Each structure stands twice: as structure tokens, then as C-alpha cells.
A and B are shown apart, each in its own frame.
Chain A
Amino acid sequence: MYDAGKIITGLILFLVLFTTPIWVNLASGTSAERPDIKLPVDEKQCVAATEYMKASHMDLIYEWRDQVVREELRAYHSLSGKEYEMSLTKTCLGCHSNKAEFCDRCHNYVAVSPYCWDCHTEPKEGI
């Protein structure tokens, strides 16, 4: 192989440069800042367990959507035995009334932009 030395050095250099962000973060001992979300003050209990909601709230919301629109079912019975109306704007946003400090902070962090808000209105910010 011609110029093996140059190619290998080049490759190593490339890999090091390419992964710099990881090394810098490791060296400085910090990780990306977690989103600082504001939880509702008055309400302590959600429609489902926090861990489940963190990971799967979108599945729950999709299920609610289909039940209300397509199955004509509107009441949700949580494991804690409480009955809720299956409504994004009334139930979810009823407690999490500040979309910008709750929904948006996390969604921005993970770089997703759900299109719920194209049609459903958030409580405070208006349109």
C-alpha cells in the first residue's frame, strides 16, 4: 500500500476530530442539560403513573383520540379508580396549563414537533 502512514494518520485524525464533542463532554464531566419542566402545583396525580406517562403519553393520547372520535367513548377510568374525560385540551392541559414550560421544553429537548397544536389550542398562549 502506498502512503499507508499518511492514510492511517489521516483516518485517526478524522476520527478524533469527528468525536471531539464526546471527548470534550467527557473531559469536562458535564452532560447535556436536562429540560427543566414545570409540573402543576395544585394537582399531584396524573391519569397514569409518571414513568408510564414519561415514556408513553403519546400512545395514551393516540388511544384517547381514537376512542373519542371513532368509538364514541369519552370517559377514561384510571388505575387509581378516578374517571377522566378523554380530552387533550380539557384533561391534559387542564393541569399542565403551561404548554411552553411543560410540553415544549421536553419536545424541544428531544427535537420532536408534534402536530397536535396545529388544531388543538393551548390554554394560555392563544394562537
Chain B
Amino acid sequence: MSGIDRRNFIKIAGLTTIIGLSGKPLADAFASQPAQASAAEKEGHVGKRWALVIDPKKCLEKEGCRACIDACHRIHNVPQFDNRKDEIKWIWKEEYEKAFLDQENEFIEDSLKEKPVLVLCNHCDNPPCVRVCPTQATWKRQDGIVMMDWHRCIGCRYCVAACPYGSRSFNWRDPRPFIKEIDKDFPTRTRGVVEKCTFCNERLAKGLPLACVEACPEKAMAFGDLEDPESEVRQLLRNRFAIRRKPYLGTQPVVFYLV
């Protein structure tokens, strides 16, 4: 969440000026007042740097499990195309070798190598997709979510080319006829617009967990705030070794895979 909104910013700026101008007595008088919590902090789930930690050993415990994919694609009106050319994906399974092209450790546990890996937008800390977007239809929020504004996307597909993970899908066709059941609480997209995972920001705003995290029967995913040393994600990262996809590119993904 943006830590502070315009109104609070002005209030605080005003307050600081008064303190500055009126010297110590007034400063002391104000000092006892607690800092005002921003509107965002009062409601819902708040963090400074969201991250997702996936445990591939727990994931795919049940062969062919698609609970997270189905949940995400259902609530976000992701169309289902039968051919790979038109395919739209927010979260999907990729072969280990393709997901971790760069994993040079050929003796990594066989059980991991044989299984497909759950992949999605990495919400990179240094996202190339954001840098190339000419309309700022995609941008990085303060909480790290690489967000999309579909109203603004002109479908130039620069971001599709820039994303090294294939996390972005382009709507070549009108997606509506290919959505099984439209969830009316969420918009669909149109032809000519790019889409991808947005870390369920609409659910986070209401204090709800990510749809994939919630749907996973194996509890294979943990979502939380990297800035909070006590968060589940930090604890997992502290105690287990984790890898990320293509770290050498310097995109700094915040989707971690425990090994």
C-alpha cells in the first residue's frame, strides 16, 4: 500500500512546518500525539514488500493437482483456450528444466527435477516489463506488486518481450466467449490487452489471502511481508534454502522456491 495518502501527507507536512516555526514548546506539546496511521494501515492486509514462497515438495503432492490454477483463473475471468497460441495464463505449471534453465546443479534432488514447477509473475523488484511500458499501464506499487491498469494498455506487447519469464499473455482474441463462467465482481479483458497475475491486489485490499494460497490443499504456498522479520515468508527463508528463477538477470524476483 502507498504508505501515506495525499491528505495525510499535507497534514503531516503542515504539522512539521508549525513545529519547525514555533520551536520547542510547541514541539513538545505535539510530541505526545501518536503518529497518524494512514488509511491503508487501518483497513485490511498491509505490508511493505509482498513475497510468495512456494514449497515444490508439498506442491504437486497430489499428482495433477490444479486447485490454485483453477481458483485463480476462475475468480479473475481468465479465458480457457485449447491451443497454445492463444493461451492466457496467470499461474501455471512449467517443466523443471524450463523453469530453472540456469540451475547448474545437475544433482539436485531427483524428486524435484521430475516434477513440474508452479510459475507465475515474479513481481520482480527490478521489473523489465515496467521499464519498457510506454503508457505506464504496468508499474510497480510501493508494496512491490507489479500492477496492471488494463484501461491503459495499448497492446504494444513490449512487456511481453521484456519479461524473461513468459509471465505475460496477450489477448489475441476476444476472451469473453472462452470464459466458462464470468465472475461479475472482476472485469474481463478485451482483445489487444496484455494480462498477468496481479498478486490478488483486489483481495489484499479486503484483507483476504491470495486465491492460490487459499485454494492449495497442501498449504504449499506462503505469502507475506518481506519487511517483517517475523512473517512466515521470512521465517521460511531463514530456515530453508530457496532459489529464484534466473537470478543472474538481476530482476530480483519475489517468488521463492524452497529446495
* Residue positions of A touching B, CB distance < 8 A: 65, 69-75, 89-90, 115, 118-121, 123, 126-127
Contacts and interface: CB of A to CB of B under 8 A. Distances in A.
A126 to B, nearest CB: 8
Contacts of A69: 147, 149, 151
A120 B150 CA distance: 12
A72 B184 contact: no
B188 A121 contact: yes
A73 B8 CA distance: 13
Contacts of B2: 71-72
A70 B187 CA distance: 16
Contacts, number: 37
B40 to A, nearest CB: 7
A127 B176 contact: yes
A89 B149 contact: no
B190 A118 contact: yes
Given A65-B151, A72-B205, A118-B188, 14 more contacts: A69-B147, A69-B149, A69-B151, A71-B5, A72-B40, A72-B201, A73-B5, A74-B205, A90-B185, A118-B190, A119-B150, A119-B189, A120-B187, A123-B184
A120 B185 CA distance: 9
Contacts of B190: 115, 118-119
B1 A72 contact: yes
A89 B184 contact: yes
B141 A121 contact: no
Interface string B130-162: 000000000001000001011100000000000
Interface string B171-203: 000001000001011011110000000000100
A103 B176 CA distance: 21
30 contacts: A65-B151, A69-B147, A69-B149, A69-B151, A70-B149, A71-B2, A72-B1, A72-B2, A72-B40, A72-B141, A72-B201, A73-B39, A74-B205, A75-B39, A89-B185, A90-B185, A115-B190, A118-B188, A118-B190, A119-B150, A119-B188, A119-B189, A119-B190, A120-B187, A121-B182, A121-B184, A121-B188, A123-B184, A127-B176, A127-B182
A54 B185 CA distance: 25
Nearest to B1: A72
Nearest to A69: B149
A57 B2 CA distance: 27
B186 to A, nearest CB: 9
A61 to B, nearest CB: 11
Contacts of A71: 2, 5
A57 B27 CA distance: 45
A24 B111 CA distance: 84
Contacts of B176: 127
A120 to B, nearest CB: 5
Nearest to A74: B205
Nearest to A73: B5
A90 B183 CA distance: 13
A74 B150 CA distance: 17
A77 to B, nearest CB: 11
A70 B198 CA distance: 13
